[in-house]
C-alpha cells in the first residue's frame, strides 16, 4: 500500500492475464495487464509475447513476470515523486497453478525461461513487494486486453472500473 500525505492510503493493484496461441500465424500468446491506483486505471498493457509458449502455464508466468516488472517500476516512480511506500502491491492472476507455484520457495521448473519468470515473481513475493492472489477468470478485467469478448462479457468486467 502507498500512503499519501495525511491519512489517505493509496493501494496499487495489478490484474494480469495471458491468452495462449492468440496469434495463429506466429503462435505467440498475448499478455494483458491493468494497473489501478485506488481503483483508478493508471496503466494498461496489451502486447504479443516475445517467445512461443506451448502451455498456458508458461504464458501466464510470462504475464506475471511482466506485471511484477511494471509494479516495481510504478512503485519506484511514486517513491521518487515523494509518495512514501507502505506494504505490498496486489497482483491478481486467473491461473491457479501459477499463483500457487509462485508461493513455493523451492519449486523447480524444467524450462529455463519459465524458471526465470518464476524466480522474478517469487523474489517480489519474498521481498513483500507484491501479494499474488488468484481471481476467477470471469472476474479478471485484464481479460479484455487479451481476448475478443462480446459486450455481455466485457461490460461486467469494465463497469466497476468505469463507474
The predicted model scores a pTM of 0.86
Ordered by where they begin, the domains of the chain are 2-158 (3.30.420.10)
**Are 106 and 136 spatial neighbours (Cβ–Cβ below 8 Å)?**
no
Query: How do residues 100-141 score in pLDDT, each as one tens digit?
Result: 988 887 766 767 777 888 889 999 999 999 999 999 989 999
- Mention every residue, 6+ apart, whose C-beta is less than 8 A from residue 152: none
The Cα 157–Cα 138 span in angstroms is: 8
Query: How do residues 51-86 score in pLDDT, each as one tens digit?
Result: 777 678 888 888 999 999 999 999 999 989 988 778
Query: How do residues 21-51 score in pLDDT, each as one tens digit?
Result: 666 677 788 899 999 998 899 999 998 888 7
Amino acid at each position: 500500500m502507498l500512503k499519501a500525505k495525511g491519512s489517505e492510503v493509496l493501494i496499487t493493484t495489478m490484474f494480469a492475464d495471458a491468452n495462449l496461441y492468440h496469434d495463429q500465424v506466429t503462435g505467440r500468446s498475448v499478455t494483458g495487464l491493468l494497473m489501478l491506483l485506488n481503483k483508478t486505471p493508471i496503466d494498461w498493457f496489451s502486447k504479443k509475447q516475445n517467445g512461443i509458449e506451448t502451455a498456458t502455464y508458461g504464458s501466464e508466468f510470462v504475464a506475471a513476470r511482466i506485471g511484477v516488472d511494471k509494479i516495481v517500476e510504478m512503485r519506484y516512480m511514486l517513491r521518487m515523486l515523494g509518495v512514501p511506500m507502505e506494504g505490498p502491491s496486489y497482483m491478481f492472476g486467473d491461473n491457479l497453478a501459477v499463483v500457487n507455484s509462485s508461493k513455493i520457495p523451492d519449486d523447480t521448473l524444467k524450462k529455463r525461461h519459465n524458471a526465470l519468470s518464476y524466480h522474478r515473481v517469487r523474489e517480489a513475493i519474498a521481498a513483500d513487494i507484491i501479494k499474488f492472489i488468484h481471481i476467477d477468470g470471469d472476474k479478471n478485467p485484464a481479460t479484455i486486453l487479451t481476448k475478443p469478448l462480446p459486450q455481455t462479457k466485457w461490460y461486467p468486467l469494465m463497469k466497476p472500473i468505469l463507474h
